[in-house]
Amino acid sequence: MDFLRPASWEEALAAKAEHPTAVPIAGGTDVMVEINFDHRRPEYLMDLNRVGDLSEWEVGEESVRLGASVPYTKIMENLRAELPGLALASHTVASPQIRNRGGVGGNLGTASPAGDAHPALLAAGAEVEVESVRGSRRIPIDEFYTGVKRNALAADELIRSVHVKKADGPQQFSKVGTRNAMVIAVCAFGFALHPETRTVRTGIGSAAPTPIRAKAAEEFLNAALEEGGFWDNGKIVTPSVAKQFADLCSAACNPIDDVRGTASYRRHAVGVMARRTLTWTWESYRGTRRTTEGAA
Amino acid sequence: MRVNFTVNGRPQEADDVWEGESLLYVLRERLGLPGSKNACEQGECGSCTVRLDGEPVCSCLVAAGQVEGREVVTVEGLADYAKQRAEAGCATGACGTSLQNAQGWQAKGTDSHTGEGAELSPIQQAFIDAGAVQCGFCTPGLLVAADEMLERNPNPSDADIREALSGNLCRCTGYEKIMDAVRLAAARQGEAV
Amino acid sequence: MPTNGAPTKITQGSRTKGGIGESTLRPDGTLKVTGEFAYSSDMWHEDMLWGQILRSTVAHAEIVSIDTGEALATPGVYAVLTYDDLPTEVKNYGLEIQDTPVLAHGKVRHHGEPVAIVAADHPETARRAAAKIKVDYRELPVVTDEASATAPDAILVHEGRDDHHAGHVPHPNIVHRQPIIRGDVDAARQRADVIVEGEYTFGMQDQAFLGPESGLAVPEEDGGVHLYIATQWLHSDLRQIAPVLGLPEDKVRMTLSGVGGAFGGREDLSMQIHACLLALRTGKPVKIVYNRFESFFGHVHRHPAKLYYEHGATRDGKLTHMKCRIVLDGGAYASASPAVVGNASSLSVGPYVIDDVDIEAVALYTNNPPCGAMRGFGAVQACFAYEAQMDKLAQQLGMDPVEFRQLNAMEQGTLLPTGQPVDSPAPVAELLRRVKAMPMPPERQWESSEGADVRQLPGGLSNTTHGEGVVRGVGYAVGIKNVGFSEGFDDYSTAKVRMEVVGGEPVVTVHTAMAEVGQGGVTVHAQIARTELGVTQVTINPADTQVGSAGSTSASRQTYVTGGAVKNACEIVREKVLEIGRRKFGAYHPAWATAELLLEGGKVVTDGGEVLRDLADVLEGETVEVEEEWRHRPTEAFDLRTGQGNGHVQYSFAAHRAVVEVDTELGLVKVIELGCAQDVGKALNPLSVLGQIQGGTTQGLGVAVMEEIVVDPKTAKVKNPSFTDYLIPTILDTPTIPVDVLELADEHAPYGLRGIGEAPTLSSTPAVLAAIRNATGLELNRTPVRPEHLTGTSLSEA
């Protein structure tokens, strides 16, 4: 095993081009476990901690450019307003110690369906900025996950950042685990209201081979909200609408039985989380509307 | 490979490090600092918690090569670290009496081999006094994590303590005495300021 | 060359004082908070090698061949050993039945069984070399439950059994069977107005001590070996290790290294023999440290169990009879299974009065992971089931579950199903009263001005509910655990106590082989020495095999038995000191001859408080040293047909009240409070007592809602050998644990104390289950309860 220590992004890209099998390591949450447990012996380990700009973020007009290695703790502390869903998801990642080291780049690189950031990124809408010596490209988050623990990265590419749309409405994230802290998701759900476009987006974790959106559920809810004039009248979403949305989210799942939970539990729990997060975000949206109206 | 970094304020050099070695392994097996414990090697137990450039991290998940040029504080350096913090606090006028003086736990002649009377940080003393130590395997990691929390949040609620320590497993105590210890350390810290 | 991390004496006294009854602080506390306390995994020796174990990847197979050639040829590798390299005819070990191969011979019987061992200059070299060993397995069908184990054509896990249980078991795949018959169940059933039946399942729990199995074996010049090891019983290890090495016991020196928790998981050997074999073969010190994955294969677990119960009661709430069958899965090797069967059967009634019983407990041999000792030892599984039965009965009778229990509660004098009278206080009803009287935690504690604090809700940080679906439930349970080794075992401890004058001060040194695993035995020994000998300074020597056996740190027995041995040795030392005093100073004061004399505050005093002499003067030029064995009252074996016999020596009782909040839609549970009342006889160290009760309570909570080793029933392979998928409670899962300590002396025990470590682990689990049932209305006949059990989603979609 060789240890590569690029001091800059350019050096990292060059090293990855020269050694496409090199395994990037930043927070170490996944890679070191695999090494410690003898599941993986990469030819090259490439430390990205020295590439400073990976740990930085910029808040732009429309979106946040979030460096791949920005620790979850920083997301929780600094980006709660811009990326509320991701900040909530970050808070559920493993332990404080892990949150101090791990960032979304690791979740995306591993592309495990259980990665906590995925549902939030799917719901918020994001693009993954990847780069190689050949050039840079942005992969829409919906196209990023290509299979179980597989992603759209080419062998010579590295994840540089994620461009996440700034929240234009309330967002929520829920995750079921069989412990009250430090737990890998049995399943997870991200939900975002996008009042500007009058749409909603979802993200489901650990209930299909890859993180997915429940598109049929989104479409149903978009239509139902529009039809009922909910965006304007700020009424409570009718229970039957919420229920059907939840059922469609459950139906979007393609889960398995494993040691963490049964498929049918996952399907069930996704439905419950869908309904609850819809309720929470909608309550919040109504509250904001009232405040805005009151102020006006 | 060779790795140079600072541990508990002292420069250290580790040679012939296998590239897959963790910071934890280097500390324990190469630098003679076995205080950080290896209980799971997967970031699930917190027993190996150290501060890396000030942040509590699981040293089992840090590749040795990643600490090149960085600063690590382990449980072995915790008392000094806390002392310096307290003194720095005084220098800036933040506290009237040093924590050590206020708590009266500074060295009073070490009692033979137990280290009784050794100079400890407030959190270390509180763990002993509150009965938070049984087998002690989780203790070093908990101390590093709890000390850092009290640094950030000197008046934590119970829920704050639980959240901050949720990455540290203990199998002996049922955590009640650990809660007591952190409350005690916070209270003593409060009295001292 | 020095062995880094070898334990040293610990002296306590110039600052920390305290006799029995005081919350003296741990003598090893400072070492433990500074990182200086050396655990077995911290041992280090210049030039040492690292040992690695190759384990079977399948659960049941014939070993067709093993090829170690490539592994041996790896640079940096010093030795690769298999069964064929074992030096003597003794190739098996075991606590009671020597059925466990040091290295697999011709066959593997469970997933993760040791097949070969490697020593190399770096752990990675050792791992790579182990991976190069080629083992050709021919897989065999697996035996995984009672049906497959006792089928007429069942494959025998062990052929040709000749152990002392082989003759009385109904099938060779049953390790041991203990029936207990008393009274006339059929007649008693006629008196019952209600009868409840239940079938219960208890999942496989792991001790999950945080310090993995580890140790350092250092070869010695005389051809022997010095093993620094984390264990629960040095002398039991020694008895099993020495014959395999072909060495006399005095050439296998054992020193207790720091132990990172045990809970039963270190009663059996793990890497002890392997490290010694590699050290003796290579002539170099060899260190072995399991990682967490390996630790799940490196020790036995708590027996998973199926329990079938029938109880009857009259309309006015008196229990009429009980029938039960308890089937414990012992896995591939016997370990402590026979004794677990004895406990499960003899304590299957619980702390209740039932005169007519028909009980059977068996432990199976299967190809599942071996199971043996874990805190609560057979009594845990039974308590889970009988307490569920008590709630069902109370419900059917329309009675309050606590009152129903109190109505049937055992008292001093009650006969156990074995016919043995309980001859010390049994405050079962009182403990229940006390937990019931605890103030109830406030409702909806999660509500704050800033909205819901998810940390106080089911799901915790995962943000699954802000109060939706959350229902509170309350449940009660009480249990009985025996203390000490039962069934006629010669359960003794040895203590060596020396008293002398050092620097003008009387000091005491206590030397035992007691394994300090975190419980605080070292603290208590110093307290006993202070109380008995009136000194301040006490030195605790490292535990090793240079002194006689202290028995096991298990069965809640160490404070009782080794504490008793220390007390006894101190008393003999005191007599000798007084003899010296009489000899030296008797002529100067008549009280030397006539009064009852005590040692207090460094002086010899009369019981009237008159000071006769400084101990320093008495001991000037003298050293008094005593090494004595001490035994508790003898016990008897249980009759193999009727189960009758005075098998136990003491009992420990605890009761719990659990308050839970369940997210009934998601099936997530938050235990809000888990109050405990326990009779401890006499709290030698109240702070330590609380720590034991709270720790044991939390382990019971773990197996109620999350902890389970999952074994694939088709392959008998372990599916979750890691801390990511074997979950133990975090600080956010653990509630406040108020404790009410009762001290009713047992006149037969030193200071009236009771062993305390295990009882809280018994009743905690059923109390939590009862509370979840109370919240959800579900029957819940298995533990741990998983979210799918609470949401009707446990069946596979396929």
* Mean pLDDT confidence for B145-171: 97
**Confidence category of residue B30, pLDDT binned at 50, 70, 90:** very high
What residues of chain B lie within 8 A of the CB of C15, using their CB? 108, 111, 116-117
Q: Which chains touch B (3 or more CB pairs under 8 A)?
A: A, C
Beta strand spans in C27-143 (E): 44-45, 49-55, 61-67, 77-81, 92-93, 100-101, 107-108, 114-120, 134-139
Interface mutation vs chain A, best among B16, B47, B57, B148, most A CBs within 10 Å: B57
Residue of B nearest to A35 (CA): B20
* Mean pLDDT confidence for C414-441: 98
Among C388, C402, C386, residue whose Cα is nearest residue C317: C402
- Average pLDDT in chain A: 96
Report pLDDT for B107. 32
Parallel, antiparallel or unpaired: strands C492-502 and C505-511: antiparallel
**Confidence category of residue C15, pLDDT binned at 50, 70, 90:** low
CA–CA separation, C584 and C601 (whole Å)? 20
Report pLDDT for B192. 74
What residues of chain A lie within 8 A of the CB of B58, using their CB? 95, 97-98, 101
Distance from CA of A23 to the nearest CA of B (A): 12
* Mean pLDDT confidence for A84-101: 98
- In this structure, which amino acid lies at residue C257? S
Is pLDDT at C180 greater than 50 in this prediction? yes
The distance from CA B129 to its chain's CA centroid, rounded to whole angstroms, is 17
Is pLDDT at C299 greater than 90 in this prediction? yes
Is pLDDT at B109 greater than 70 in this prediction? no
A113-140, pLDDT tens digit by residue? 999 999 999 999 999 999 999 999 999 9
Q: Percent of chain C scored above 70 by pLDDT? A: 99
- Backbone φ and ψ for C398, nearest 5 degrees, come out as 70, 30
Among C15, C207, A52, residue whose Cα is nearest residue B115: C15
Report pLDDT for B92. 40
Distance from CA of A8 to the nearest CA of C (A): 30
Interface mutation vs chain A, best among C57, C290, C463, C724, most A CBs within 10 Å: C463
- B145 and B120 within one domain: yes
CA–CA separation, C672 and C473 (whole Å)? 10
Determine, for residues C463 and A272 on separate chains, whether the beta-carbon distance falls below 8 Å.
no
Distance from CA of A184 to the nearest CA of C (A): 7
**Residue C487 token pair:** 């069934």
pTM, 2 dp: 0.96
- Backbone φ and ψ for C271, nearest 5 degrees, come out as -100, 5
Report pLDDT for C798. 58
CB B32 within 8 A of CB B13: no
Query: Which strands, in side-by-side order, build the sheet including A135-140?
Result: A57-59, A63-67, A158-165, A126-132, A135-140
Residue C227 neighbours by CB distance under 10 Å = 29
DSSP for C300-328? -EEPPEEEEEEEEE-TTS-EEEEEEEEEE
Determine, for residues A95 and B164 on separate chains, whether the beta-carbon distance falls below 8 Å.
no
Determine, for residues C463 and A172 on separate chains, whether the beta-carbon distance falls below 8 Å.
yes
- In this structure, which amino acid lies at residue C201? T
**Portion 82-111 of B in contact with C at CB < 8 A:** 108-109, 111
* Mean pLDDT confidence for C641-659: 98
Distance from CA of C369 to the nearest CA of A (A): 17
Report pLDDT for C522. 97
Determine, for residues C796 and A264 on separate chains, whether the beta-carbon distance falls below 8 Å.
yes
Determine, for residues C10 and B165 on separate chains, whether the beta-carbon distance falls below 8 Å.
no
- B183 and B119 within one domain: yes
**Residue C688 token pair:** 């330590």
User: For the purposes of burial, counting CB atoms within 10 Å of the CB of C103, is it exposed (0-12), middle (13-18) or buried (19 or more)?
Assistant: buried
Q: Does C579 touch chain A (CB under 8 A)?
A: no
- B103 and B188 within one domain: yes
**Residue B167 token pair:** 């990455």
Is pLDDT at C130 greater than 60 in this prediction? yes
In this structure, of A253-267, A279-293, C221-235, the range with the lowest mean pLDDT score is A279-293
End-to-end CA distance of chain C: give it in Å, rounded: 62
CA-CA-CA-CA dihedral for C369, C373, C377, C381, to nearest 10 = -10
Q: Does B188 touch chain C (CB under 8 A)?
A: no
Report pLDDT for C620. 95
CA–CA separation, C312 and C478 (whole Å)? 19
* Mean pLDDT confidence for A252-257: 97
The CATH number linked to B100 is 1.10.150.120
* Mean pLDDT confidence for A260-280: 98
What residues of chain C lie within 8 A of the CB of A92, using their CB? 461-463
Angle C521-533/C558-585 helices, nearest 10 degrees? 30
Q: Which residue has the tokens 């009064």?
A: C595
Report pLDDT for C345. 98
Determine, for residues B116 and C292 on separate chains, whether the beta-carbon distance falls below 8 Å.
no
Q: Which residue has the tokens 């009385």?
A: C168
Report pLDDT for B95. 43
* Mean pLDDT confidence for C279-294: 98
A191-240, pLDDT tens digit by residue? 999 999 999 999 999 999 999 999 999 999 999 999 999 999 989 999 99
- B122 and B61 within one domain: no
User: For the purposes of burial, counting CB atoms within 10 Å of the CB of C617, is it exposed (0-12), middle (13-18) or buried (19 or more)?
Assistant: middle
CA–CA separation, C550 and A70 (whole Å)? 54
**Residue C97 token pair:** 């039945």
Q: SS3 of C294, please?
A: helix
Report pLDDT for B105. 30
- What number of residues does chain C have? 798
DSSP for A165-219? EPPSS-EEEEEE-SSSSS---SEEEEEEEETTTTEEEEEEESSSSS-B--HHHHH
- B22 and B95 within one domain: no
- Average pLDDT in chain B: 88
C396-405, pLDDT tens digit by residue? 999 999 999 9
ipTM associated with this complex: 0.97
**Residue C51 token pair:** 């040992």
CB C334 within 8 A of CB C252: no
Q: Which residue has the tokens 């050099």?
A: B13
Report pLDDT for A289. 79
CA–CA separation, C741 and C739 (whole Å)? 6
- B116 and B159 within one domain: yes
Task: Give the fold, CATH level 3, of C42-140+212-259+266-298.
Answer: Aldehyde Oxidoreductase; domain 3 (3.90.1170)
CB C260 within 8 A of CB C230: yes
Report the number of secondary-structure helices (H) and strands (E) in chain B: 7, 5
CA–CA separation, C182 and C357 (whole Å)? 5
Q: What does CATH list as the number for C492-631?
A: 3.30.365.10
Q: What does CATH list as the number for A171-295?
A: 3.30.390.50
CA–CA separation, C142 and C154 (whole Å)? 9
DSSP for C71-84? HHTSTTEEEEE-GG
C88 Cβ contact partners less than 8 Å away, ≥ 6 residues apart: C243, C244, C245, C246
* Mean pLDDT confidence for A267-271: 98
What domain range is B41 assigned to?
Answer: 3-73
What residues of chain A lie within 8 A of the CB of C130, using their CB? none
C167 Cβ contact partners less than 8 Å away, ≥ 6 residues apart: none
CB C520 within 8 A of CB C489: no
Report pLDDT for B111. 46
Beta strand spans in C338-377 (E): 356-364, 371-372
Is pLDDT at B94 greater than 70 in this prediction? no
Report pLDDT for A106. 97
Q: Which chains touch A (3 or more CB pairs under 8 A)?
A: B, C
Cis geometry, peptide bond prior to residue C784 (ω within 30 degrees of 0)? yes
Three-point CA angle B184, B186, B192, nearest 5°: 100
CB A72 within 8 A of CB A102: yes
- Backbone φ and ψ for C139, nearest 5 degrees, come out as -70, 145
C742-772, pLDDT tens digit by residue? 999 999 999 999 999 999 999 999 999 999 9
Report pLDDT for B190. 86
CA–CA separation, C56 and C60 (whole Å)? 9
Which of B118, B163, B166 is closest, CB to CB, to C30?
B118
CB B156 within 8 A of CB B164: yes
Which of B22, B44, B56 is closest, CB to CB, to A100?
B56
The CATH number linked to B66 is 3.10.20.30
Determine, for residues A269 and C797 on separate chains, whether the beta-carbon distance falls below 8 Å.
no
Q: Which residue has the tokens 């050396």?
A: C38
What residues of chain A lie within 8 A of the CB of B73, using their CB? none
DSSP for B122-137? HHHHHHHHTT--SS-S
Q: Which chains touch C (3 or more CB pairs under 8 A)?
A: A, B
Among C611, C616, C613, residue whose Cα is nearest residue C537: C616
CB pairs < 8 Å spanning B and C: 221
Residue C15 neighbours by CB distance under 10 Å = 14
* Mean pLDDT confidence for C310-326: 98
What residues of chain B lie within 8 A of the CB of C519, using their CB? 134
**Confidence category of residue B193, pLDDT binned at 50, 70, 90:** low
- Average pLDDT in chain C: 97
- B64 and B28 within one domain: yes
For A197, C468, C494, C515, C523, the CA distances from C526, given in Å and listed in that order, are 73, 53, 15, 15, 5
**Residue C249 token pair:** 């016991």
- What number of residues does chain A have? 296
For B16, B26, C122, C123, C292, the CA distances from C127, given in Å and listed in that order, are 18, 18, 9, 6, 15
Domains identified in chain B, total number: 2
- C125-147 burial, b at 16+ Cβ within 10 Å, e below that, comes to bbbbbbbbbebebeebebbbbbe
* Mean pLDDT confidence for A25-31: 96
Distance from CA of B83 to the nearest CA of C (A): 14
* Mean pLDDT confidence for B143-149: 98
Parallel, antiparallel or unpaired: strands A158-165 and A63-67: antiparallel
Determine, for residues A45 and B164 on separate chains, whether the beta-carbon distance falls below 8 Å.
no
- In this structure, which amino acid lies at residue C698? T
DSSP code of residue C26: P
What residues of chain B lie within 8 A of the CB of C38, using their CB? 34
CA–CA separation, A246 and A267 (whole Å)? 10
- B94 and B52 within one domain: no
**Residue C14 token pair:** 């110039």
Out of B73, B89, B116, a domain closes at B73
Is pLDDT at B89 greater than 80 in this prediction? no
Report pLDDT for C795. 82
CB C195 within 8 A of CB C320: no
Parallel, antiparallel or unpaired: strands C356-364 and C305-313: unpaired
- B82 and B63 within one domain: no
Q: SS3 of B72, please?
A: strand
List the domain boundaries for chain C.
42-140+212-259+266-298, 492-631
- What number of residues does chain B have? 193
What residues of chain A lie within 8 A of the CB of B145, using their CB? 96-97
Out of B14, B43, B73, a domain closes at B73
Distance from CA of A91 to the nearest CA of C (A): 7
- B164 and B103 within one domain: yes
Distance from CA of C331 to the nearest CA of B (A): 25
